[in-house]
Structure 1
Amino acid sequence: MQNWGYIVVIFLVAYLIASIILYYLQEYFIFKPEKLDKDFQFHYNNQTVKEYNLETRDGAIINGLHFKVNNPKGVVLYLKGNSKSIKGWGKFAVDFTRHGYDVIMLDYRGFGKSTGRRSFKAIKRDLQFVYSKIKEKVNEKYIILYGRSMGSGFAAKLASINNPKMLILDAPYYSLNKVAAKYIPFMPISLIMRYPIPTYKWLKYVNCPIHIIHGTQDKLIPFKSSIKLSKIRPKLTRLYTVIGGGHKNLNNFESYHKMLGEIINSKMKRLNLSDTSIRVLHSSKKLNA
């Protein structure tokens, strides 16, 4: 019995140490930043691009790119995933500029040329700061929020406290806690996660049209997470399925580009259901012979 007591104590101590390590080192698992030199020059073929640097109230610098078109229909604030920098992500701007929309991309703290101490609170504050800057020049009814993977959660947060034209979520997760629990189910995730990013909670407060795009073969964030998210605000939400799409290759599917074009060029119309089958009653009674 005494030996069992020692084993239990050793296990508990090891468990506590592992939890502490995960608490303080989780950023190394969540974020995969690419650093860029201050004098790095961005260049994209056939795109008009302007680089900007915004200083936050705590002295951090948020670096971003503004892809411009003539006579824009609006602007897309594109929130990228958890890896690399906008140097590589900038190639996706063409998917929106080709439809007549300006695109703004930014690097989170510690990514690319952006500086500052990273935290969950700081990232949310930075993104609202950028959104407010856009709103100073563009009416919200012309602002589209696009969140890709990790960026989908932050896009949902912005949409929940602002009034953009629409919210587009690309391969979103239900919450980052759920993703982490998939890989380390034995750890107290709800207690140690400093970046829970609860997309599902924020979606409850979104009042604009919500469009969700997800691949059926996504191994990192399962398609079922988007099904669950689509049920939160069903009257405002449409779910788009990319058959065979994975987590990082949706842009290689023609169906994705067709969906995206339909989404950003669509105009919301009030649907009259009075003459549809939605209210048709079906009788189970047998007719007389």
Structure 2
Amino acid sequence: MNKKHKMIFFKILFYIFVIYFGVSLVVYFYQRKLLYHPGENNYLDEGPLNHKIEKVYIQSENELVAWRFVKNKNFKTILFFHGNAGKIDNRIYKLNEFSKLDINYLIFAYRGFSGNKGKPTEQGLYEDARAAKKWLNSNGVEDNSIILYGESLGTAIAVDLASSNSFSGLILESPFTSMEILAKKYYPYLPAKLILKDKYKSIEKISKINSPILIMHGREDKIVPFSMGEEMYKKFDGVKYNFFSDNDDHMMNFNENLINTIKKFISSLN
């Protein structure tokens, strides 16, 4: 290779580096817009509530809107952590099924979601989760009467809270092992480990949990690989149950089999 060709070669390498660095920089600064989608509605049609709820507000860094349903004060309470997109309303089809069970629930929206002020971050969502638990405690619901339920991104928030507290139980729907590993799947050409701000390392926390766990995941999940839910299940050494469906995608169908699984899990906690 002569001197001229070397110059051209190094110029090409330089431009490739500049482009790569530029793309990485853009992703670094805008990654939370890629991760959190409070204005997106990508769930099943919510329809109307088939039961009466009480709209309440939880004080975190900002005030958080929440819905509370109390069927019987002696029943346990599901504390629900939603995924990375949409509003509380997008989970009505799940809430309607909860209302038919011997259970109460509290579902709240994170900062930046459902009209709440603030911007979502990993630590911010953990803080919101602690505030929701504290709100339940202050309203007469102790930790041993709380069942955490997380869907998708919400599974990481539920796992984090459960890793430092003792609850009645934990339900994880379509869980992932860590955001870092998931980011490598979607952006294999980027240095995810270096630039990722919100890592959500659930796989490192699940062994710290001492509550019974139900993990539900569909083998047809096109967003979070089924293998991640399976890995989370294998990693946990405590009392555990699973509902691994052959046909479900990321947002699982709340059919009779799934609902019965949740019902049996709740009964086992009693």
TM-score by length of 2: 0.90
Paired residues for 1:110-259 under 5 Å: 110-136=112-138, 137-251=140-254, 253-259=255-261
Partner deviation per Cα, 1:62-83 (whole Å, 9 max, x = no partner): 1111122134411100101111
Q: Deviation of residue 261 (structure 1)?
A: 1.2
Corresponding residue for 2:56? 52
Aligned to 1:264: 266
> What residue in structure 2 maps to residue 20 of structure 1?
25
Contact 1:172 1:226 in 2 (8 A): yes
What is the one-letter code of the residue matched to 1:23? Y
**Alignment RMSD, CA only?**
1.9
Quick one: percent identity of the two aligned structures? 24
Amino acid at match of 2:244: T
> CA–CA distance in 1 between the matches of 2:129 and 2:70?
20
SS in structure 2 opposite 1:250?
coil
Structure 2: gaps spanning 5 or more residues: 1-5, 41-45
Look up the match of 2:110: 108
TM-score (ref. length: structure 1): 0.84
Among 57, 70, 90, the alignment partner of 1:88 is: 90
Question: Which 4+ residue blocks in structure 1 deviate beyond 6 angstroms?
Answer: none
Give the drift of 1:46: 3.0
How far is the alpha carbon of 1:43 from its aligned partner?
Answer: 9.4
Aligned residues: 259
**Does structure 2 conserve the Cα–Cα contact (< 8 Å) formed by 1:242 and 1:250?**
no
Unaligned runs of 5+ in 1: 36-41, 269-289
**Alignment partners' CA distance in 2, 1:15 and 1:133:** 46
- Classify the secondary structure of the residue corresponding to 2:23: helix
Residue 15 of structure 2: aligned partner: 10
CA–CA separation in structure 2 for the residues paired with 1:254 and 1:100: 16
Is 1:48–1:68's contact at 8 Å kept on the other side of the alignment?
no
1:141 aligns to what SS in structure 2?
Answer: helix
Taking the aligned partners of 1:245 and 1:117, their CA distance within structure 2 comes to 31
In 1: Cα distance, 2:103 partner to 2:269 partner: 15
1:5 corresponds to which letter in structure 2? F
